Amino acid sequence: MPLHGLLPKPLAANEVTVGQLLLHPLHPERDGFFSTQASDTIDDLNDYHIQLRYKDVFSVDSEGRFMVSYGAKFELGRIFRQPNLLTVVAEQMIQRTTQNAVKAFEAVTADQEARDWIYDVLKKEGREGNEDLYIVVGITEFKNAVFKRARLQDSGASARLSETSIESGAKVPRAVRRDSKLGLEAEKKVSAVFGMDVRKVKARITRPEEPHALSDLGYIWSYYDVSGKGKADEQLMVGLGTALKGNELRLMLDLTEEDVASNLDAISQLSLDAMSAAASPMLRPSSPALRGRSPSPHPLMRA
């Protein structure tokens, strides 16, 4: 069973769930809403798929973002010229997908609290005219996944892969990268969400007589009275759109924030490594490494 739209970086499994509204699909921590009123309906609509010992091959772009998943039985031609490949083996791959995205969306927006959240988002920054939101309608989660660097054997004459551990500081998502601990660490296991079916949602505060825009085409719209919150002639219109593609999700990742966080982590880890080395019993208190100067030159070289 294929992945949902491959995320450019994994997300914590406790941060996203089917039926959740989000301001940003790659940053669920910024803001979102999950309707407890609609949870039973969403659960009834969900379809589950579990696969043990799941295997896949991912490609990573030059900025360290997941690009494409090729499956365990990949086509050689699709990966032949990919310079940055990773294999993944997960103890479990769990997919949760709604069988009817429209019904799930309507169950969420039927909740007054969900509509209040959308309304407040629109009013918060004075964006009554239009706002892009998102709703999660499917999740692919890996349990105890191990990633390795992969390269084609035999110069691509066959589909066989050679695997090695991912080097420290590699341009890959931080969650799957080995941390530097004096070069010693067992294989890192990651449990997280790696794929999502995320649908676009448009919301707007309008008047009933106001016509739709051309950009509204392709959305399934619902209309709600908001006279209790705003002006008497206002309405909230909310539309469900198409799914975000994997490439769209990849381009939404804020690399500036990711790079800054990666650099800070690297600096912190180097400091920890230096402290570990300094605490080593192999270094005596009189060692030049602890005195902060270089060893004296050989006696024959002092002249």
In a domain, 234, yes or no: yes
Query: Could you give the CA distance from residue 192 to residue 145 in angstroms, rounded to a whole number?
Result: 9
Torsion sign (Cα): 176, 181, 187, 190: negative
Its pTM stands at: 0.78
Predicted local confidence at residue 154, as pLDDT: 73
In a domain, 291, yes or no: no
User: Left (φ > 0), alpha (ψ -120 to 50) or beta: where does 267 sit?
Assistant: alpha
In a domain, 167, yes or no: yes
Between strands 189-206 and 5-11, the pairing is antiparallel
In a domain, 300, yes or no: no
In a domain, 256, yes or no: yes
Q: How many domains does the chain have?
A: 1
pLDDT tens digits, 240-299: 999 998 889 998 987 665 555 554 454 455 555 555 555 555 544 444 444 444 444 454
Give the DSSP letter string of 181-238: STT--PPPEEEEEEEEEEEEEEEEEE-TTPPPPGGGTT-EEEEEE-TTTS-TT-EEEE
Domain that includes residue 148, residue range: 5-282
Between CA 26 and CA 32, with CA 29 as vertex, the angle to 5 degrees is 90
In a domain, 275, yes or no: yes
Query: Could you give the CA distance from residue 59 to residue 50 in angstroms, rounded to a whole number?
Result: 23
Mean pLDDT of the region 92-103: 96
In a domain, 233, yes or no: yes
pLDDT tens digits, 26-57: 999 989 999 999 999 999 999 999 999 999 99
Mean pLDDT, the chain, integer: 81
pLDDT tens digits, 130-149: 578 999 999 999 999 999 99
Asked if residues 51 and 92 have their Cβ atoms less than 8 Å apart, the reply is yes
Confidence of residue 170 (pLDDT cuts 50, 70, 90): confident
Cross-strand partners of 96:
48, 139
In a domain, 288, yes or no: no
Asked if residues 93 and 141 have their Cβ atoms less than 8 Å apart, the reply is yes
Residue matched to tokens 């890192």: 188
Is it the case that residue 67 has pLDDT exceeding 80?
yes
Q: How many CA atoms lie within 13 A of 289 on its CB side?
A: 11
Q: Which residue has the higher pLDDT, 19 or 215?
A: 19
What are the distances in angstroms from CA 7 to CA 66, 116, 186? 7, 29, 25
Asked if residues 240 and 102 have their Cβ atoms less than 8 Å apart, the reply is yes
pLDDT tens digits, 185-230: 567 889 999 999 999 999 988 888 888 888 888 899 999 988 766 5
